[in-house]
């Protein structure tokens, strides 16, 4: 990476990226992006409407045909080139993702290597997609099945980890032979727009990756357009339900990666410092704004006092401040509305009987100075949270930890599984037999034991229950962007 001062990296020129064209004006109007750390507005962001979605589908359809016609080794090599280009421009992508979401440097800096790593992983799959020869009976015939790309994939792109997420979404879709339409929200347009430019610089066909920031009008048009073969949605459950209903109305396949309410089960035999850090670090890195945040600490009653004290000490060591500062461990939340919502949930939990052990129950002014207008929330620890309360059942998407207690394994499982969500679970114990017993009983798509494993490109990732369906990562993450075709050939010579 070049060592450009990150805060000085210029924003991409505003405009939609469709093929090689940058559209500075669009039928969807414009929106203002605000840097979450200061609340200051950036340049207006053109927003796609139905017309621009149609333009993007036309460009993607042409590029998909060109991309599919390439031999697998050429698609593999193109993805490897793109991975190299992402690494070379990593500092820009880091800076832009900080401007997008306010995530601190220590977290944003992971994005480019995770994106390029995913591209390299799936480049390795591009020339290894095979079919099957199928046994037949009731007459001589030859039957085979092949996996083919779907064509054009519409992505509702997440705002919280834009660069990190590319290796799990765009990479497998491209390796499978598809073209892409990325629809970021106005909350985080910059890193996606720069990535689209890098795809062109890496020599990918124009129109293979299109970036069209937009709101509800663009989202509706993307789902309804007959040229879009599949939709992948990452976001909250409320919007996800609407998108899924619209996709069903148009008989369009969709994958949903929705929210979570991850439990961190802490047993007395665990390394308590490490066990607590799993939760504390998860609310600091992205201000609790990730779907696998370990926000619910469910602690054995014999060690709860010790765990609470450790949590308070760890929270106190973290630094709230400028996300571009390497010393900052926690930045702002994404918007003023998000801050208001989070603080409202904390206030209601306290009124319902939870004890505030760290953080603030009222509006937080933030670090002050140049950051006084930012959307900061202090890391908050609440003890004695009732399992049926709003705070225990609803995704906070903010830097809030809750503590509940259990006495037996069965109670721990019931509490962990006792929400509508099922994305991830965390288990802290040295008892290997307990690990296997508990992992089998936890209703979540991922179980992390004695640490935070993240989301590697080879790991199938997705949710149970209201956390969605479909998988990213590994072979499953590739095949979700393909469709099977069966070919039956009669060998009867009569």
Q: Residue holding tokens 């991409």? A: 12
Q: How far apart are CA 462 and CA 450, in angstroms?
A: 20
Q: How far apart are CA 377 and CA 375, in angstroms?
A: 7
DSSP 176-207: TT-EEEEE--TTS-HHHHHHHHHHHHTTPPTT
Catalytic site residue from 52, 92, 186, 257: 257
Q: How far apart are CA 189 and CA 212, in angstroms?
A: 9
DSSP secondary-structure letter at 330?
Answer: B
Active site residue 411: no
Q: Which tokens in the block code for residue 397? A: 């998407």
Q: Which tokens in the block code for residue 276? A: 């607590």
Q: Which tokens in the block code for residue 81? A: 């080139």
- Cβ distance 452 to 278 under 8 Å? yes
The three-class DSSP label of residue 381 is strand
Phi and psi torsions of 355, nearest 5°: -100, 125
Cβ neighbours, 10 Å, residue 351: 9
Q: How far apart are CA 233 and CA 310, in angstroms?
A: 37
Q: Where are the alpha helices (DSSP H) in 352-469?
A: 390-393, 409-417, 432-441
Q: How far apart are CA 377 and CA 359, in angstroms?
A: 8
Task: Give the CA dihedral 15, 18, 22, 24, nearest 10 degrees.
Answer: -40
Question: Which residues are marked as active site?
Answer: 257
């Amino acid at each position: 990476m070049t060592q450009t001062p990150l805060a000085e990296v210029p924003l991409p020129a505003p405009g939609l990226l469709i093929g090689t064209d940058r559209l500075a004006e669009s039928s969807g109007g414009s929106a203002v992006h605000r840097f979450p750390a200061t609340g200051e507005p950036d340049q207006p962001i053109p927003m796609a409407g139905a017309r621009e979605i149609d333009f993007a589908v036309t460009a993607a359809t042409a590029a998909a045909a060109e991309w599919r016609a390439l031999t697998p080794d050429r698609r593999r090599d193109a993805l490897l080139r793109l991975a190299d280009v992402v690494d070379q421009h990593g500092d820009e992508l880091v800076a832009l993702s900080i401007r997008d979401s306010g995530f601190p440097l220590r977290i944003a800096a992971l994005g480019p290597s995770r994106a390029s790593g995913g591209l390299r992983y799936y480049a390795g799959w591009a020339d290894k997609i095979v079919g099957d020869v199928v046994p037949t009976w009731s007459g001589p015939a030859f039957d085979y099945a092949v996996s083919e790309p779907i064509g054009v994939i519409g992505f509702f792109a997440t705002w919280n980890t834009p660069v990190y997420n590319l290796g799990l979404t765009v990479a497998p879709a491209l390796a499978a032979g598809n073209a892409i339409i990325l629809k970021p929200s106005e909350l985080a347009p910059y890193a996606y727009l720069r990535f689209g430019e890098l795809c062109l610089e890496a020599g990918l066909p124009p129109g293979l990756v299109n970036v069209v920031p937009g709101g509800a009008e663009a989202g509706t048009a993307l789902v309804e357009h007959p040229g879009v073969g599949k939709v992948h949605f990452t976001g909250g459950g409320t919007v996800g339900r609407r998108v899924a209903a619209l996709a069903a109305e148009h008989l369009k396949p969709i994958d949903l990666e929705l929210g979570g309410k991850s439990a961190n089960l802490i047993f007395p035999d665990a390394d308590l410092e490490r066990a607590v850090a799993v939760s504390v670090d998860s609310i600091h890195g992205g201000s609790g704004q990730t779907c696998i945040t370990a926000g619910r600490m469910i602690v054995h009653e014999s060690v709860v006092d010790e765990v609470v004290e450790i949590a308070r000490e760890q929270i106190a060591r973290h630094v709230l401040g400028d996300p571009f500062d390497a010393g900052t461990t926690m930045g702002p939340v994404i918007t003023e509305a998000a801050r208001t919502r989070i603080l409202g949930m904390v206030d209601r939990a306290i009124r319902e009987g939870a004890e505030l052990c760290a953080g603030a129950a009222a509006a937080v002014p933030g670090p002050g100075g140049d950051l006084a207008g930012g959307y900061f929330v202090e890391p908050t620890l609440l003890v004695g949270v009732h399992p049926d309360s709003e705070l225990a059942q609803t995704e906070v998407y903010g830097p809030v930890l809750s503590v509940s207690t259990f006495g037996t394994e069965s109670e721990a499982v019931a509490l962990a599984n006792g929400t509508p969500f099922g994305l991830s679970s965390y288990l802290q114990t040295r008892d290997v037999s307990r690990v296997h017993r508990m992992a089998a009983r936890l209703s979540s798509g991922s179980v992390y034991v004695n640490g935070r494993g993240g989301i590697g490109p080879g790991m199938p990732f997705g949710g149970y229950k209201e956390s969605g369906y479909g998988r990213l990562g590994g072979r499953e993450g590739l095949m979700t962007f393909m469709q099977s075709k069966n070919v039956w050939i009669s060998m009867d010579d009569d």
